[in-house]
Amino acid sequence: MLDLTTSNLTSRYSWETLDQDQDALRWLESTVLPPYLSTCRWFAGKARQQEAFRVAVMHGIALGAEAVAFLAIVEVVYADGETERYLLPLSFIETDQPDASEIPSKGILTPAEFDQKSGLLVDGIYDERFRLALYASLAGENVMPQKAGQVRFYRGRGLAADDVDTTVVSRVLPVDSSNSALAYGMPHQPEKYFLKLYRKLFQETNPEVDLVSFLTEESQFSHIPAYAGSIVWEQEHTPDITLGMMQLMVENQKDSWSQTGDYLNDFLYAVPNRLFTIREDVFDRVELLGRRTAQMHLALYSPKSDDNAFKPEAFTDEYRAFIIRRIEALLERRYAMLIDNYTRLDPLAQRLAWVFMEAKEMIDEFIEDFRHRPLESLRTRIHGDYHLGQVLATDSDFIIIDFEGEPESSIRERKIKHSPLKDVAGMIRSYHYAVSAKLFGSTETENIDPDHLQRVSERWYNLIRDTYMNAYLETIGNPHPLYKNSNEFNFLLLVYLLEKAVYELGYEISYRPAWVKIPLKGIMDVIREIQKIQTADPNRDSEVPRLQMGLLETKKQ
């Protein structure tokens, strides 16, 4: 029976029977979990009105001969919207255990007493016994039967045979994100493996595990942190739920966004002197990234795969309707946001916004063209959230990371097959952001006319974009079944560039009005290409609406 006269969790029963201790679980749900989860970076429901917390499932994990930890599945019910589920490992560390004093405050749920034994109820990741139990289970490919299905540990090729039966060291990585990260290694190499525990759970396998395991197990593409294993909750007649994934650690270098910013410094310092400077090694790195991107897409192109999740598919009416709904919904909201915030924009952004809104008829016609145009190109699984920040730069190469997909999309949407050009569009837009943010946000250029900066940044961007695209096309091969021909390639690239830039526009209007010109310029580039396509169409019944491009013309400096 639970003692309710204390603010701490006090139970007459042993810790090992927590999953059956209904009074203790109710105390957790009502008193401990609401304030604790609100302090956790990975809890996404802070801004929503929370109505209830429920410990829905408790999976037992043995910590040696007698001790046990639990993988708690916590359901959070809100006043509005869907219930969410979170993974919360729970461990009990008695006061007299050597590492009890080393638990950080953010890992302590509450002081607790079970069967007259005092200690701390903690997030299990801060208990070394729990961390080592996860590693041993992955190495041993353990299957742990539970009251609700089973927890299965899968071992991947990335976990070396020599590291299965050996002394292992572990620690919690200081990663403040939507997941938790654990590092494993040996005394001579303390950080060799990286285990990501997924905190917010979805009723399907995580797309990152699907993609990383496929690339590691089924292809020769080596420019990712190799798949070393995963933890999956399996139940009959229910989709599997991914709880965690382990990969090889990679050298801790800058991401390519930071590296590109470094490369841009030379360019930035030359601009006030009216010099145009790009180092040759910048082109070499951009070419290499173009090749690595194409190699990733070739590895994911698997027409002979037995796994339907990776077989290429055509551009179906259903898929086109899905993309069109996304773009049309984005456009409707962005038009309204631009009207409401027009006076907050600087003169250059205002001119770009005006031309964008005047091009509505042309964009609508382009979208209808996408709905009906015959397309023989193919769709596959892709990275899904590809930009410079998702590519780690080593001394001489690149490592591509984070295959979870767009954060704001559902798990099901993240598994939809797209043209790989969606990834290409994301990287192109990332390069555009890199140069624009550097030139428009630096003190060295703050007194230079914005129109001049726009022209200079466009010249750098065009050179880098063409370098990246040429390397990509050369590596992917032309023709390739993914892309029927150059006309389809160019058309589809415009579709994804339009979607990406319009998506970016909403964020900048809301949070960084000074940067609105960056996505608007990206939209303008797409509009110009759409106009070329429509003007050259011999089957067109009416004239292409004339764009007011004169609004963008300024006196040359």
DSSP string, 125-143: GG-HHHHHHHHHHHHTT-E
Residue of 547, 521, 551, 550 lying closest to 532 (CA atoms)? 547
pLDDT at 396: 87
pLDDT (tens digit, 9 = 90+) per residue, 348-380?
899 999 999 999 999 999 999 999 999 999 999
pLDDT at 549: 59
Cβ neighbours of residue 58 closer than 8 Å, sequence gap 6 or more: 18, 19, 70, 71, 72, 73, 147
Query: When comparing pLDDT for 28 and 254, which is higher?
Result: 28
pLDDT at 557: 42
User: HSE on the CB side for 537, CA within 13 Å?
Assistant: 18
pLDDT at 537 over 90: no
pLDDT at 252: 64
Tokens standing for 259? 């590296």
State the pLDDT confidence band at 177, using cuts at 50, 70 and 90.
confident
Cβ neighbours of residue 105 closer than 8 Å, sequence gap 6 or more: none
Cβ neighbours of residue 188 closer than 8 Å, sequence gap 6 or more: none
Instruction: Characterize the bridge pairing of strands 108-114 and 9-11.
Output: parallel
pLDDT at 555: 46
Q: What H or E segment, with its residue span, contains residue 271?
A: none
pLDDT at 550: 57
| Most confident by average pLDDT, 95-104, 321-330, 401-410 | 321-330
CB 87 within 8 A of CB 57: no
pLDDT over 90, % of the chain: 69
What are residue 324's phi and psi, to 5 degrees? -65, -40
Cα separation, 207 vs 256, whole angstroms:
23
pLDDT at 546: 65
CB 421 within 8 A of CB 375: no
pLDDT at 163: 87
What are residue 36's phi and psi, to 5 degrees? -70, -50
Cα separation, 502 vs 324, whole angstroms:
13
State the pLDDT confidence band at 147, using cuts at 50, 70 and 90.
very high
Cα separation, 251 vs 212, whole angstroms:
18
pLDDT at 327 over 60: yes
Cα separation, 506 vs 512, whole angstroms:
10
pLDDT (tens digit, 9 = 90+) per residue, 92-143?
999 888 777 889 999 999 999 999 999 999 999 999 999 999 999 999 999 9
State the pLDDT confidence band at 175, using cuts at 50, 70 and 90.
confident
pLDDT (tens digit, 9 = 90+) per residue, 124-135?
999 999 999 999
pLDDT at 540 over 80: no
pLDDT at 385: 95
Angle between helices 517-535 and 347-358 (to 10 degrees): 30
Q: What H or E segment, with its residue span, contains residue 115?
A: none
The mean predicted confidence, pLDDT, of the chain is: 90
**For 212-233, b where at least 16 C-beta lie within 10 A, e where not — what string?**
bbbbbeebebebbbbbbbbbbb
Cα separation, 549 vs 351, whole angstroms:
9
Q: Which amino acid is at 123?
A: D
Q: What mean pLDDT comes out for the span 537-545?
A: 68
Q: What mean pLDDT comes out for the span 445-463?
A: 88
CB 385 within 8 A of CB 407: yes
State the pLDDT confidence band at 227, using cuts at 50, 70 and 90.
very high
CB 445 within 8 A of CB 272: yes
182 SS3 class: strand
pLDDT at 554: 52
pLDDT at 168: 93
pLDDT (tens digit, 9 = 90+) per residue, 69-89?
999 999 999 999 999 999 999
pLDDT at 408: 79
pLDDT at 260: 85
Helix residue ranges per DSSP H, 243-279:
256-270
Residue of 8, 5, 1 lying closest to 23 (CA atoms)? 1
Instruction: Report the Cα 275 to chain-centroid distance in Å.
Output: 37
Q: Which residue has the tokens 């899905």?
A: 322
Q: What pTM does this model have?
A: 0.89
pLDDT (tens digit, 9 = 90+) per residue, 194-225?
999 999 998 888 899 999 999 999 999 999 99
Q: How many C-beta neighbours within 10 Å does residue 513 have?
A: 14
CB 420 within 8 A of CB 380: yes
pLDDT at 326: 95
pLDDT (tens digit, 9 = 90+) per residue, 258-311?
888 888 888 888 888 888 888 888 999 999 999 999 999 999 998 888 888 899
Cα separation, 121 vs 133, whole angstroms:
18
For the stretch 394-398, contacts whose Cβ atoms lie closer than 8 Å and that sit 24 or more positions apart, written own/partner, are 394/250, 394/251, 394/253, 395/251, 395/253, 397/223, 397/288, 397/292, 398/223, 398/256, 398/288, 398/289, 398/292
pLDDT (tens digit, 9 = 90+) per residue, 482-515?
998 999 999 999 999 999 999 999 989 998 888 9
**For 33-62, b where at least 16 C-beta lie within 10 A, e where not — what string?**
beebbeebebbbbeeeebeebbbebbbbbb
